[in-house]
Structure 1
Amino acid sequence: MHRRIILPSALAASLLLAIPASAASYVPGAPGIGDSYYPTSGNGGYDVSHYDLRLKYQPATDLLEGTATILATTKQNLSRFNLDLGLKASEVRVNGRLARFAASGDHELEVTPAVPLEKNKAVTVVVKYAGKPSEFKVDGWSAWARTPDGGVAAQEPDSAAWWFPSNDHPLDKATFDVSVSVPDGHQAISNGVLQAQSSRLGWTRFSWRSNKPQATYLATLAVGRFDITTDRTANGLPVLNAYSKELGDNDGAARASIERTAEVAEWLESVYGPYPFNALGGYVPNVTSGFALETQTRPFYSPRQFANGANVSVVVHELAHQWYGDSVSVRDWKDIWINEGFARYSQWLWSEKEGEGTAQELADYVYATRTADDPFWTVKPGDPGADNQFHQAVYDRGALALQALRNEIGDEDFFAVLKGWPQEFAYGNARVSDFVAYAEKVSGRQLADLFDTWLYQPSKPAEPTAAEEAAGATAFGVPRTAAKPAQPKSWKKIAATNTVHDH
């Protein structure tokens, strides 16, 4: 005999709510975040808010051991999710429970939690892992550089997978705590503020904190023997610079450049508004590469950037990125002009400030010295393609676009745009189209044609006709019949940074 039980409606509703959604409604998160250039970068289904990394690194063997605690929020019902990691995981826990995991592809760690994850819920993921970062390669390429006294993680567009599990794309920013134990006599350099340093049984632990959102490729780690200088800015921000003790002839030039970091940042605040982070500095490890990188709060500089003497221009470039690229980051890697065009133009503005050539004179020089048949003009800074992401045109033609904008809307509106933009999108992400819309809003002008000409057309923008010249029109101030403009005094120092992101 079966009894029919009738429940009060409120109780019935509460019981229905307690029943979990069907298994069919829980699906795996995507193995990529959807970037048009790098489809496998990042992951779908969740958003990270914080990384806590507790690491131990042995320079002699290149062995890195780590425990990463990742705080995230689900964006969908998840049966499984991916992390980007090239080292070998030994244990994964999700919300305290052991989870199944498996490596796949070049750098994917597929995690299947014991209990499916409901949308819009906080999640804690703990990953224990180890490996030798220098042995991990993607298509024969490594973001980890071994040095005679340690190792360095600093690369673009990605480097995180070489030293910690992550959602490795600028769209998913997070705060960071990075604590690294290294043998006594070595130091571990990372982003933000050094919170603590302690020694025990032959090992020294360095604990760093970045308290503002940070893209994963902007997180950095350098272990080696460094000479460290510290100071504070006029408004109290800590400044920490680190120089490998084996820089040799480049040591003096590196210091003469990087020790001006606080001065440069103070000037950049007058152009772009308040400095967006909690620390300043830079570091020069003993690497053989030739590039520099805007790792957040503490840019990486290779010694070769100073092989021909001091070059403050490269410091200007990397510090400008703290606003353009770090605080306001790309939504998609095709938006790279948001980073590089502005960092290059900042070098032009520094030249103008120093009396070594105005931005207009530099624009005139670049425009005139690149002939119409130069392949330089076929690269579109607004969408250069993955193979040309760091092409010189993204930098120089990208800066030309800004000078064209300045000429079009005038200095008052132009500098209002430069200062307002990092405040409008602070700690977030933006597209080239967002910048165009913002410049139009501030200036009250239609600017689509101007940006299309300078950022998207695969040809050299035309010089004015004779009739247009007679009416006063010029192409960056250079009449059609004029001789090649003189090389600005600052040009050699600026050109010396052409390899700044030549990885």
Structure 2
Amino acid sequence: MTTRRPLRYCGATAALSVALLLSSCTGSAPFKGKAGAGGVGDPLFPALGNGGYQVTHYGLALDYDVKKRHLDATARITAEATQNLTTFTLDLQGLKVSGVQVGGEDATFSRKGHKLRVTPATGLRKGATFRTTVTYNGTPQEVTDPDESSEGWVKTPDGAFVAGEPEGSMAWFPGNNHPGDKATYDFTITVPEGYTAVANGELRSQKTAKGRTTFVWHNGQPMASYLATAGIGRFRFTVDRMPDGLPLYEAVDPAEEADSEEALSRLPEIIKWERGLFGPYPFRSAGAIVDNTPERVDWEALESQTKPIYAGAPDTVTVVHEMSHQWFGDSVTPKTWQDAWLNESFATYTEWLWEQREGGKTPQQQFDALYKKGAKDPLWEFPPGKPGKPENVTADPVYYRGAMVLQQLRDAVGDKTFFKILKEWPAKYRYGNADAADFIAFCQERTDKDLTDLFDVWLYGKGKPDRTF
């Protein structure tokens, strides 16, 4: 979890605002800095993310004209410098930037590809907390994934919704677009009266004036940028509560309402059941966004923190899968995209546990059916722990062979230890980041059985494993 440090005080208190934010005090040592890296070296998406700082909070003010598809926006980004910085970059694709300030002073900026390079008026010292304000506008666009699916700002017949995984957040706000940088968020979204705007977290206020309605949402737990979302449309919007008071927000397109009713009616039951498996629900609200999406959107659902997005009416198993991501992916987030299997293996295995609960196949029977697939089946195309290419992040081995890794782990350590792992793993890394090495070490600490071969063969081994454990 990222901890926000207090502003550093030095020099006279009268020089509070700009001097503190930039940590540039009279009489200090000469400033020696360098540019922040324009990427964090992700194995699959090396151009995503930025070096030299860690974001602690995003404040996004969005005013969307549905008819003209036009966005006027301001992003206020609070961050901590992790090195002495002369310049730094943010990820932003398309849209026109009209101004940038750092610490209340105008900064110079330039654009190249999806990078917005910012040069503050004064260098930023390592450890300094600083705020960057970016004013921008335009028609936000979709982003085409490496696997050819649509994400980013996706237009719908009556508005838009945002899909962020893996690259889409940069289509609607500037940021450090990498799962290794998590922050809290506030969203202020203004739309025409009669429309609803939903986002992550809890609804703080809703006010209509002069034909426009402003919705204010607060997400107070750390969140990776790819999990940030917004939905705008003529939704049927409801607010309910679990018996323990957990708010449930549901925004459903009227065209999908009837077909969504059965699955969404089981949301409280699903959350209660998953709490029993994985421990306390990690966030302060839950819910769903169900939209009537264009045909080009070729995915069924997408994890986003507190409110999964459904590209049409979901079935119950899909809701089970997406809600399990609140623990696996949203609370505990991979350090890099190479370990996306840590999200999808657990979510797929949760489906298997639910199907058994509902009288269907056991997880072992699911495993056995998959293991019968021939050696040339796409399931064995690459190991889940080494996807190799960006387009493989959403491919079958990450989901299904990843879940098979968990079944092999269960067979090796026994049910008692396995189900302890399902609870203790999300508890240990709550709101943080982890990778495969963390998970392997975590599991090994909980058993006397050597798990080296199991992970070498099933997580990292090429082709169809020729043995089980």
Determine if the TM-score, normalized by the shorter chain, exceeds 0.5.
yes
Question: What SS class does the counterpart of residue 229 from structure 1 fall into?
Answer: strand
Question: What SS class does the counterpart of residue 239 from structure 2 fall into?
Answer: strand
C-alpha separation in 2, matches of 1:108 and 1:459: 38
Unaligned runs of 5+ in 1: 1-16, 464-474, 477-503
- State the shift of 1:165 in Å: 1.0
C-alpha separation in 2, matches of 1:57 and 1:201: 15
Unaligned runs of 5+ in 2: 1-24
Aligned to 1:113: 120
Deviation beyond 3 Å, 4+ runs, structure 1: 17-23, 135-142
C-alpha separation in 2, matches of 1:324 and 1:353: 20
Equivalent position amino acid for 1:93 in 2: Q
Aligned counterpart in structure 1 of residue 284 of structure 2, from 270, 278, 291: 278
Aligned to 2:20: none
Whether the 8 Å CA contact 1:239–1:281 is kept in 2: the answer is yes
Whether the 8 Å CA contact 1:36–1:332 is kept in 2: the answer is yes
Aligned to 2:395: 391
- State the shift of 1:352 in Å: 1.6
Whether the 8 Å CA contact 2:145–2:167 is kept in 1: the answer is no
Aligned to 1:469: none
Whether the 8 Å CA contact 1:173–1:216 is kept in 2: the answer is yes
Aligned counterpart in structure 1 of residue 97 of structure 2, from 69, 89, 95: 89
Equivalent position amino acid for 1:95 in 2: G
Aligned to 1:13: none
Whether the 8 Å CA contact 1:214–1:326 is kept in 2: the answer is yes
Equivalent position amino acid for 1:396 in 2: Y
Residues 123-202 of structure 1 mapped to structure 2, 5 A cutoff: 123-134=130-141, 143-202=152-211
Seen in structure 2, the aligned counterparts of structure 1 residues 183 and 341 have a Cα distance that, compared at 3 Å, is same
Equivalent position amino acid for 2:317 in 1: S
Aligned counterpart in structure 2 of residue 61 of structure 1, from 68, 76, 83: 68
- Count of aligned pairs between the two proteins: 438
Aligned to 2:382: 379
- TM-score normalised per structure 1: 0.84
C-alpha separation in 2, matches of 1:78 and 1:253: 52
Answering whether residue 368 of structure 2 is matched by residue 364 of structure 1, we say yes
Aligned to 1:487: none
Seen in structure 2, the aligned counterparts of structure 1 residues 366 and 142 have a Cα distance that, compared at 3 Å, is closer
Answering whether residue 406 of structure 2 is matched by residue 402 of structure 1, we say yes
Whether the 8 Å CA contact 2:55–2:79 is kept in 1: the answer is yes
Whether the 8 Å CA contact 1:378–1:457 is kept in 2: the answer is no
Answering whether residue 433 of structure 2 is matched by residue 433 of structure 1, we say no
Equivalent position amino acid for 1:254 in 2: S
Question: What SS class does the counterpart of residue 27 from structure 1 fall into?
Answer: coil
- State the shift of 1:142 in Å: 5.3
Whether the 8 Å CA contact 1:62–1:134 is kept in 2: the answer is no
- State the shift of 1:137 in Å: 7.1
C-alpha separation in 2, matches of 1:27 and 1:298: 39
Aligned to 1:78: 85
Answering whether residue 277 of structure 2 is matched by residue 268 of structure 1, we say no
Whether the 8 Å CA contact 1:262–1:280 is kept in 2: the answer is no
What is the aligned-residue RMSD (CA, Å)? Answer: 1.7
Question: What SS class does the counterpart of residue 79 from structure 1 fall into?
Answer: coil
Answering whether residue 102 of structure 2 is matched by residue 99 of structure 1, we say no
- TM-score normalised per structure 2: 0.90
C-alpha separation in 2, matches of 1:290 and 1:142: 10
C-alpha separation in 2, matches of 1:135 and 1:331: 25
Aligned to 1:327: 331
Question: What SS class does the counterpart of residue 459 from structure 2 fall into?
Answer: helix
- State the shift of 1:135 in Å: 7.1
1:207-256 deviations in Å (ceiling 9; x for gaps)? 00111000101000111110012211122110011111233xxx322221
The range that moved more, 115-124 or 348-357, is: 348-357
C-alpha separation in 2, matches of 1:418 and 1:135: 36
Question: What SS class does the counterpart of residue 374 from structure 2 fall into?
Answer: coil
Whether the 8 Å CA contact 2:247–2:286 is kept in 1: the answer is yes
1:374-403 deviations in Å (ceiling 9; x for gaps)? 242131101112231111111111111111
C-alpha separation in 1, matches of 2:406 and 2:341: 11
Question: What SS class does the counterpart of residue 122 from structure 2 fall into?
Answer: coil
Seen in structure 2, the aligned counterparts of structure 1 residues 135 and 383 have a Cα distance that, compared at 3 Å, is closer
Question: What SS class does the counterpart of residue 56 from structure 1 fall into?
Answer: strand
